[in-house]
C-alpha cells in the first residue's frame, strides 16, 4: 500500500485529526513516535510497544549506519524484520546525529565529513548517501538530509544553512526518485530557517515547491525559549499544505505536544519519555515525579492513580524507587512503559478531543491538572 494522508477533521483551534497510510499499516494522527535509536526502543519489546499504543517507531540512521551497518540490515531483510517490528517505521537522515554526536570535520555543498563517535572512523554523509542508507534500512518514511541550524545563528548563516538544506532536499528527492524502493518509501522534506520568521516562511515555500510526501519542521527545541519555539512552529505550520502530514522533529514535553497539535502538527518524536524514564523522571496527569525522592520510600501507591498502564497496575512507588536506586534494569523498563503509555495516551486523548471538536476544553483541563502537582 503506498503512502497516503487523509485529513479527517480540523478542530476550531486548528488542531487536526487524520490518518497516515503506510506499507506497514495505518497511523492515526496526531501521533507520537517512540525513539528506537539503535533498532530497539530501549528496554522494550515490539509487543509491548504495540500494547502501549505505539503506532510507529523512529530509528536513527546515524547509529545504524555505524553499527551494525545498513548493508548488514539490508542483507537480513531490512529494519522491520531485523528488529521484529512489522508496523510503520520512520528513519531520520542521520544528519542531526552527525552534528550532535559525531566529530564534525567539514560541512560543504557536497555533504558532511565527520568521524564516528564510536571509533573515530572518518565518514561522509551526502544527500545521496543518506537516501541510499535509508533505502537499505527500508523504513516506511524517510527524511531528507538537512542541516539543523545551530542556535543562535546570525540571519546570514541561517540563510546560508537553509539554502544549502534546500539544495540538499532537491538532491535527496532526485536520488530517491530513481530508487527501486521509491514507490513504497515516503520521503519527507524539512523546513529550516532558525528563529527568523521570514526565513521560516521562505523555507516552507522552497520545500513545498520541491514537493514531498510530508513536511517536517526542523531546527526547533535547540536551546531557544519555549515561546519562541512555539511561535516558530505555529508560523511554519501555517505555511504547510493542509493535505500533507506535518512533523515537528524532536519535540518535546507534554505541554509542547499539546501546544503544537493546536498549531496543526500531526507527528512528533522525542527521546524525552524514554530517556526520562531511565533517569527516574516520570510523567503523570499531575506533572512530573522524581522516583528517587525519599518521600516515596514507603509509598505503596502507584505512580499515577489515574494511570492504567502495566506499571501502575502492578507496582508501588516504593518498589519503583527501590529498583531505581538499586540500578535494576527492571526500573528502566517499568518506567519506560509508564512514560510511553503517558505519551501515547496523551496523543489518543488529543485525537478524541479533536474529533469531538473540543480541543480547547481539553487543553485547559490538561494544563489545570498539571498545575495541581504530584501528591
Q: Which residue in the set 15, 27, 43, 49 belongs to the binding site for a copy of itself (CB under 8 A)?
A: 43
Burial class from Cβ neighbours inside 10 Å (0-12, 13-18, 19+) for residue 343 reads buried
Site for a copy of itself in 215-244 (CB under 8 A): none
Phi and psi at 148, nearest 5°, equal: -75, 100
- Contact range with a copy of itself by CB under 8 A, out of 136-144, 166-174, 221-229, 323-331: 323-331
Catalytic one of 92, 146, 256, 304: 92
Shortest distance in whole angstroms from residue 67 CB to a copy of itself: 6
Shortest distance in whole angstroms from residue 337 CB to a copy of itself: 10
Q: Is 49 in the site for a copy of itself (CB under 8 A)?
A: no
Catalytic one of 146, 256, 269, 304: 269
Identity of the residue, 60 or 165, whose beta carbon is nearer to a copy of itself in the bound complex: 60
Identity of the residue, 68 or 241, whose beta carbon is nearer to a copy of itself in the bound complex: 68
Q: Is 354 in the site for a copy of itself (CB under 8 A)?
A: no
Reply yes or no on whether 92 is catalytic. Answer: yes
Q: How many Å apart are CA 110 and CA 112, to the nearest integer? A: 7
User: Pattern of binders to a copy of itself over 269-308, x per CB under 8 A?
Assistant: ----------------------------xx-x--------
- Contact range with a copy of itself by CB under 8 A, out of 70-78, 107-115, 126-134, 147-155: 70-78
Residue (of 187, 177, 140, 176) closest to 22 by Cα position: 140
Q: Which residue in the set 8, 329, 356, 367 belongs to the binding site for a copy of itself (CB under 8 A)?
A: 329
Identity of the residue, 125 or 337, whose beta carbon is nearer to a copy of itself in the bound complex: 337
Q: Is 330 in the site for a copy of itself (CB under 8 A)?
A: yes
Reply yes or no on whether 269 is catalytic. Answer: yes
Identity of the residue, 113 or 333, whose beta carbon is nearer to a copy of itself in the bound complex: 333
Site for a copy of itself in 74-133 (CB under 8 A): 75-77, 82-84
- Contact range with a copy of itself by CB under 8 A, out of 13-21, 87-95, 242-250, 329-337: 329-337
Shortest distance in whole angstroms from residue 278 CB to a copy of itself: 9
Q: Is 328 in the site for a copy of itself (CB under 8 A)?
A: yes
Other beta carbons less than 10 A from residue 19's beta carbon? 16
Residues binding a copy of itself: number (CB under 8 A): 36
Residue numbers at the binding site for a copy of itself (CB under 8 A): 38-40, 42-45, 63, 67-68, 72, 75-77, 82-84, 297-298, 300, 314-316, 318-319, 321-323, 325-326, 328-330, 332-334
Give me the active site residues, please.
92, 269
Amino acid at each position: 500500500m503506498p503512502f497516503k494522508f487523509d485529513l479527517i477533521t480540523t478542530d476550531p483551534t486548528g488542531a487536526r485529526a487524520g490518518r497516515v497510510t503506510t506499507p506497514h499499516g495505518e497511523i492515526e494522527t496526531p501521533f507520537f513516535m517512540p525513539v528506537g535509536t539503535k533498532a530497539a526502543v530501549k528496554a522494550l519489546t515490539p509487543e509491548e510497544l504495540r500494547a502501549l499504543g505505539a503506532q510507529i517507531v523512529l530509528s536513527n540512521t546515524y547509529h545504524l549506519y555505524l553499527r551494525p551497518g545498513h548493508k548488514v540490515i539490508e542483507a537480513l531483510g531490512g529494519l522491520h524484520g531485523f528488529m521484529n517490528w512489522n508496523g510503520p517505521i520512520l528513519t531520520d537522515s542521520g544528519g542531526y546525529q552527525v552534528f550532535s554526536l559525531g566529530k564534525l570535520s567539514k560541512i560543504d555543498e557536497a555533504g558532511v565529513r565527520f568521524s564516528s563517535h564510536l571509533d573515530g572512523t572518518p565518514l561522509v554523509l551526502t544527500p545521496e548517501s543518506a537516501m541510499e542508507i535509508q533505502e537499505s534500512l527500508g523504513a516506511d518514511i524517510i527524511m531528507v538530509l538537512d542541516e539543523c541550524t545551530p542556535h543562535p545563528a546570525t540571519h546570514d548563516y541561517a540563510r546560508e544553512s537553509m539554502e544549502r538544506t534546500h539544495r540538499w532536499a532537491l538532491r535527496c528527492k532526485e536520488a530517491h526518485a530513481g530508487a527501486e524502493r521509491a514507490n513504497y518509501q515516503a520521503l519527507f522534506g524539512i523546513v529550516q530557517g532558525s528563529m527568523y520568521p521570514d526565513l521560516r516562511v521562505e523555507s516552507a515555500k522552497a520545500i513545498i515547491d520541491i514537493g514531498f510526501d510530508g513536511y517536517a519542521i526542523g531546527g526547533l527545541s535547540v536551546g531557544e525559549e519555549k515561546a519562541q519555539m512555539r511561535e516558530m512552529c505555529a508560523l511554519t505550520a501555517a505555511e504547510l499544505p493542509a493535505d500533507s502530514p506535518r512533523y515537528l522533529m524532536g519535540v518535546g514535553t507534554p505541554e509542547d505536544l499539546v501546544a503544537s497539535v493546536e498549531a496543526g502538527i500531526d507527528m512528533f518524536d522525542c527521546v524525552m519519555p524514554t530517556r526520562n524514564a531511565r533517569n527516574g523522571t516520570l510523567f503523570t496527569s499531575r506533572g512530573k515525579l522524581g522516583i528517587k525522592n525519599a518521600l516515596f520510600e514507603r509509598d505503596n501507591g502507584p505512580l499515577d492513580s489515574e494511570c492504567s498502564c502495566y506499571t501502575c497496575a502492578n507496582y508501588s512507588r516504593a518498589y519503583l524507587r527501590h529498583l531505581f536506586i538499586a540500578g535494576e534494569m527492571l526500573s528502566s523498563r517499568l518506567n519506560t512503559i509508564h512514560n510511553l503509555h503517558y505519551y501515547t495516551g496523551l496523543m489518543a486523548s488529543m485525537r478524541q478531543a479533536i474529533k469531538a471538536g473540543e480541543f480547547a476544553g481539553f487543553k485547559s483541563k490538561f494544563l489545570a491538572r498539571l498545575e495541581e502537582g504530584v501528591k
